Amino acid sequence: MKEKILLFLRRFSFRTGMIVLAMCVPCYILSFSQMALPLSTVTKGVLWFVFFGLAKTFQYAGITILGVEGVKRIKKRFRKSKAQTGSNS
C-alpha cells in the first residue's frame, strides 16, 4: 500500500510538488491562529488537530512529489539567491 502511494505521488511534476508543499503554510497558520478565537477548548483542540494534520500531510506529500532531486534543486535556488543578495549589500 505504501509503495503504491509513493509511486502515485512521484508521477507528479516539480511544479505540482511546490504547490502542494506551499499549501502546508496556510494550514500551519490556521492551526495556530484559531487559538485566538473565542471557542471552547474542545473545539480549539479539534481544529488544531485537523489543520495541523493537513499541514503535515501537505508537507510530506510535497516532499515525496519533489523527491531527492527536487529538494536539491530548491536548495540550489536558495543558495543562488542568497549569494546574489549578499554580494549586493
Q: Is the pTM of this model over 0.75?
A: no
Tell me the per-residue pLDDT of 22-62, one tens digit each, with 9 for 90 and over.
999 999 999 999 888 899 999 999 999 999 999 999 999 88
Distance between CA atoms of 89 and 67, rounded to whole angstroms?
A: 34
CA-nearest of 30, 21, 60 to 48 is 30
DSSP state of 11: T
Q: Identify which has the larger pLDDT, 53 or 65.
A: 53
Residue for grid cell 473565542: 38
Query: Average pLDDT over the chain, rounded to whole?
Result: 86
Question: Under a CB-based contact definition with an 8 Å cutoff, are residues 20 and 61 in contact?
Answer: yes
